[in-house]
């Protein structure tokens, strides 16, 4: 499959549809290409790629080189989630490696508006994320500048954690604001998403579901897991 250079693919998706964005963090890194191809063939919508610096979060993951290696394998949007203290340093490397959307954390050390503009300047769509303990009112004034808001439903850093049910009211509040102001912004959730919590976050107003463990480490197999998730979107 030939990779299209159009970086606006994620922002042009309808905000009224539900999308599944598996996190490759939970894939088998010894056969990452195989897992990526299998997931795309099974019908996922977006690849979510978690980038960790061992400082903003207590874990390391992958760098732009891996993203670049995966890029020719897929024509789906690459949604890069930067869990970095200084995201500005890595926007261009990930955009050049094939990112379509770049999400950074509101809590990172770099200036928020500068970071948004830097991502915008690469042609990628822009996401802003907030950790579970960050109040939604801190990021609400920024929502008219971004394409996506990522509400973390676990503390970022590791896959396989338990969903934080207290984030449902945060999703509701952000959804209500986006609707009231008629903003064109995806509401993404990430952390502890399975069929049960997935149904609840859709009801709460999110439309892009990131799921790692429940897709790539599902006992019933990757294809079946994706098939079951797809039914939630009906
Ligand atoms: C956590 C990452 C998530 C995580 C999701 O820091 O941002 O994308 O890998 O994994 P699960 O679905 O296993 O919670
Ligand atoms: Zn993530």
For 77-135, how does the pLDDT look when each residue is reduced to its tens digit (9 = 90+)?
999 999 999 999 999 999 999 999 999 999 999 999 999 999 999 999 999 999 999 99
Contact at 8 Å (CB) between 213 and 234?
no
Q: How far apart are CA 44 and CA 42, in angstroms?
A: 6
Mean pLDDT, rounded, of the chain: 96
- Confidence at residue 9, expressed as pLDDT on a 0 to 100 scale: 78
Q: Delineate the domains of the chain, giving CATH numbers in brackets.
A: 10-233 (3.20.20.70)
Res. 234: pLDDT tops 80? no
Q: Is 182 left (phi over 0), alpha (psi -120 to 50) or beta?
A: left
SS3 label, residue 211: strand
Distance 190 CA to ligand 1 centre (A): 6
- Confidence at residue 11, expressed as pLDDT on a 0 to 100 scale: 85
pTM: 0.97
Q: What is the mean pLDDT of residues 169-174?
A: 98
Q: How far apart are CA 35 and CA 184, in angstroms?
A: 32
Contact at 8 Å (CB) between 84 and 60?
no
Question: Looking at ligand 1, which atom is closest to the CA of residue 214?
Answer: 12
Distance 228 CA to ligand 1 centre (A): 19
Ligand 1-lining residues (CB < 6 angstroms): 23, 25-26, 48, 50, 81, 154, 156-157, 159-161, 190-193, 210-214
Distance 217 CA to ligand 1 centre (A): 12
pLDDT tens readout for residues 32-90: 999 999 999 999 999 999 999 999 999 999 999 999 999 999 999 999 999 999 999 99
């Amino acid at each position: 499959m030939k990779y299209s250079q159009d970086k606006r693919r994620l922002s042009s998706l309808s905000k009224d549809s539900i999308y599944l964005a598996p996190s490759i963090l939970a894939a088998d890194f010894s056969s990452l290409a195989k897992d990526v191809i299998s997931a795309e063939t099974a019908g996922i919508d977006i690849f979510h790629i978690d980038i960790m610096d061992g400082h903003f979060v207590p874990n390391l993951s992958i760098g732009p080189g891996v993203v670049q290696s995966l890029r020719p394998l897929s024509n789906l949007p690459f949604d890069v989630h930067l869990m970095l203290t200084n995201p500005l340093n890595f926007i261009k490397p990930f955009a050049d490696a094939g990112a379509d959307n770049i999400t950074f954390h509101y809590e990172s050390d770099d200036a928020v508006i500068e970071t948004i503009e830097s991502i915008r300047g690469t042609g990628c769509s822009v996401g802003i994320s907030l950790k579970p303990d960050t109040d939604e009112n801190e990021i609400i004034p920024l929502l008219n500048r971004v394409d996506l808001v990522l509400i973390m439903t676990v503390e970022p850093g590791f896959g396989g954690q338990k969903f934080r049910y207290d984030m449902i009211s945060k999703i509701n509040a952000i959804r209500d604001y986006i609707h009231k102001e008629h903003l064109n912004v995806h509401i993404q959730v990430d952390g502890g998403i399975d069929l049960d919590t997935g149904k609840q976050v859709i009801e709460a107003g999110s439309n892009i579901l990131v799921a790692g463990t429940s897709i790539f480490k599902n006992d019933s197999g990757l294809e079946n897991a994706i098939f079951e998730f797809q039914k939630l979107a009906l």
